[in-house]
Amino acid sequence: MRRVFSSKGAYIVASLLVIMAMLLSACAPAATPSGGEAAAEPAAEGQTYRIAFSVPAMSFPFFVHMEKQVRDEAAKMGNVEIITLDGQDDTTKQVADLEGVIAQGYDGLIVSPRTNEGVAPVIQQVIDAGIPVVTIDRRADGVNGLLAHVGADNVIGGEAQGQAILSLFPDGAKIIELLGTPGASPAIDRSAGLHNVIDPAGNIEVVCQQTGNFNRNDGLTVTENCLTANPDVQAIVAANDDMALGAVEAASAAGVSVPIIGFDALPEAIQAVNEGTLYGSVEQFPGGQSRTALNTIMDFIVDGTAPASDVVLLSPKLVSKDNLMEAERIGEVPGMEAAAAPEAAAPVEQLTIAFSVPAMSFPFFVHMEKQVRDEAAKIGNIEIITLDGQDDTTKQVADLEGVIAKGYDGLIVSPRTSEGVAPVIQQVIDAGIPVVTIDRSAEGVNGLLAHVGANNVIGGEAQGEAILSLFPDGAKIIELLGTPGASPAIDRSAGLHNVIDPAGNIEVVCQQSGEFKRDKGLTVTENCLSANPDAQAIVAANDDMALGAVEAVKAAGLDIPILGFDALPEALLAVRDGALYGSVEQFPGGQSRTALQTIVNFIVAGTAPESDVVLLSPKLITTENFEEAERIGEIPQ
């Protein structure tokens, strides 16, 4: 596996997916991106609910995509009619549309206000008329009684743009900033996020800052003017993709080659990133926002269920060439449809796929196996043979030798350790059996079809950023390592130290292996606390060890933050209840489904994956973004 030992800012997420949102939207059953809300119940027979969907302008491709996702979700529910109200980029028109919502007596309203100050008053009138309202993408500040706001955290998105600028220009640069529509909350928040990052650096000069009104033509014109006045500019940051694509035209016409960063990850922008005319674009998962908004309003209308939180913010991420596969709409880009991990076709003859894991005693692998079996049932005509390594390298090696002897059609394997299992994986490949590694990599193996996993370095960095945020003045911490030689153990620790070591004020007073096990995590923590009673935090390379640490800390009468990794349901419950500070989500369901689709597509159609390394970007789950955990639906309410 290619390791990425890079330091990330506090707000660079792993994304995605959601996720790997582009994978989950292609292959997951209908659900919200967090996995925490089921689709609303269908309306009663014979009854149709009318939901107005009001957007600033359907001339913006972003809102066209949102509307399609809302309509698709409504079709799944049944008896839900979506009435689209096109504001035509005119506040007066959108206000009139919302007055019509009251007059028509619609059952609910999902609205993205063109501007806050211009549209908020009429949104209040809709609520006062007894019609439930969910805002989407753009906020309506000062309104009382909103059911919820569903959107992306635009400040974090702007910060991702800023981090990219600092990474590209560590010694400083002159940049152009294209602002969105004045008064629109995304325009305000994205610019604020950008400046949160570049202003403290002190060496990034914004030589031209003008509004392009979220419009491509205006973006083109403004960029032409800015470049004329500032021919030595080194980069352009735009608050949406339409303006960024206008800037691409202006830069090309001026014969200038500078990195340009957009926001929205539209298909045309993704294509431009792939071709190199855009450096990157911020993905904010509009499909996930749309489905969540409709589920939220229908749950309330049908059975009175209010959302757990009245603000649901997805965490954006910058999509560049390095992680292009994580764009939600990559499947809409001409020539890149295969990259969206399409559903595998059912094989004509039954396939037998071995699924080998280090130990089924680990809840993480139990969940992975269930997801693989569910996906196999969905595809059809596939038998999954589970091989439990029982946390014994010798046993796993023998299992894989059996894969060759029995002539299975394919192998999905998570090696207990790389050095112990990689040689027999090579033997399986040499025997002509396609192999996909999952979660844990197998270094030095030639001919792997693919490795599907999470970027464990980024996950470790997320833990490190949390420690720096909790202890800006420094701290003494305990680090619980995973199984020696296992790639996640190595990479997660590397990521943690990528962040805390340069800070210079975080001292790891005890660093020992708990071998990814709860009982050993408990014992090691007890020993570490006995020797270091002044430890201020604990970082564990998985949740089992973190939960063991919780027991040890409680027994010692201490109250210190503990960070885990895997976002298991029991760990999420501990986060919710305050026993754990947080746990890193690495989307094991997305990994499992992608691995099976990849190997079946190859066996059935000879289709090799676009990339032989697919890494999902993890994120730290805390009480602040709890709803984004993949397995939130499995914990008791």
154-285 and 456-588 have identical folds: yes
Give the rounded percent of residues in the chain with a pLDDT score beyond 90: 71
- Nearest Cα neighbor of 413 from 404, 421, 432, 405 is 421
DSSP string for 428-442:
HHHTT--EEEESS--
**Nearest CA to 3 among 445, 437, 322, 456?**
456
Distance CA 634, CA 611 (A): 32
Q: What is the mean pLDDT of the chain?
A: 88
The whole-number pLDDT of residue 336 equals 60
Q: For position 160, what pLDDT does the model report?
A: 94
Measured CA to CA, the distance from residue 421 to residue 126 in angstroms comes to 63
Residues 296 and 307 sit within 8 Å (Cβ to Cβ): yes
| CB hemisphere CA count around 408 (13 angstroms) | 26
Asked if 180 and 216 count as a contact pair (C-beta separation under 8 A), the reply is no
CA 109 to chain centre: 27
Provide the pLDDT for residue 397. 97
Ordered by start, the domain boundaries in the chain are: 21-27+47-151+287-313, 154-285, 456-588
Phi, psi of 366 (to 5 degrees): -60, -45
Q: Chain centroid to CA 77: how far?
A: 25
Whole-prediction pTM: 0.50
Whether the pLDDT of residue 42 is over 90: the answer is no
The pLDDT, as a whole number, for residue 363 is 87
Strand bridging mode 435-438 / 450-454: parallel
Burial of 249 (0-12, 13-18, 19+ CB in 10 A): middle
pLDDT given at position 335: 66
For residue 51 the two structure tokens come to 């939901």
Q: What is the spatial distance between Cα 241 and Cα 277, in angstroms, rounded to a whole number? A: 12
- How many CB atoms lie under 10 A from the CB of residue 304? 7
Cβ-proximal residues to 337 (8 Å cutoff; 6+ apart), any chain: 331
Work out the pLDDT band at 614, boundaries 50, 70, 90: confident
Question: What is the token pair recorded at 254?
Answer: 């001026």
Q: Is residue 59 helix, strand or coil?
A: coil
Q: Which two tokens stand for residue 174?
A: 């002159």
For residue 440 the two structure tokens come to 């844990």
The DSSP secondary-structure symbol of 233 reads: -
- In angstroms, the CA 438 to CA 23 distance is 15
Q: Above pLDDT 70, what percent of the chain? A: 91
* Cβ(282)–Cβ(262) below 8 Å: yes
| End-to-end CA separation in angstroms for the chain | 38
Closest CA to 358 of 390, 330, 327, 381: 390
Query: What is the tens place of the pLDDT at every residue in 443-479?
Result: 899 999 999 988 899 899 999 999 999 999 999 999 9
Q: Which fold has domain 21-27+47-151+287-313?
A: Rossmann fold (3.40.50)
d(CA 25, CA 33): 8
What count of residues does the chain have?
637
In CATH, the number for domain 154-285 is 3.40.50.2300
Distances (CA, A) of 286 to 68, 309, 586: 10, 19, 21
DSSP E strand boundaries for 485-532: 506-513
* DSSP-derived 3-state class of residue 464: helix
| pLDDT tens digits for range 207-228 | 999 999 999 999 999 999 999 9
- In angstroms, the CA 435 to CA 431 distance is 11
Q: Using only the alpha carbons of the chain, give its radius of gyration.
A: 25
Average pLDDT over residues 370-393: 94
pLDDT digits (tens, 9 = 90+) for 61-90: 889 989 999 999 999 888 999 999 999 999
Give the residue-averaged pLDDT of 26-46: 38
How many Å apart are CA 55 and CA 98, to the nearest integer? 11
Q: What is the pLDDT of residue 343?
A: 54
Residue 610's SS3 state is coil
Contact 10, 458 (CB under 8 A): no
pLDDT at 428 over 50: yes
* Whether residue 291 has pLDDT greater than 80: yes
Q: Could you confirm whether domain 456-588 is CATH 3.40.50.1000? A: no
* pLDDT average, residue stretch 488-496: 94
Query: CB of 214 within 8 A of CB of 236?
Result: no
Q: How many CA atoms lie within 13 A of 145 on its CB side?
A: 15
Beta pairing partners, 467: none
DSSP 19: B
Neighbour-count burial for 143-167, b at 16+ CB within 10 Å, e otherwise: beebbbbbbbbbbbbbbbbbbbbbe
Q: Please give the average per-residue pLDDT across 55-66, as a whole number.
A: 91
Q: What is the mean pLDDT of residues 171-200?
A: 95
Tokens 């974090």, residue located: 156
Of 247-251, 281-285, 423-427, where does mean pLDDT reach its minimum? 281-285
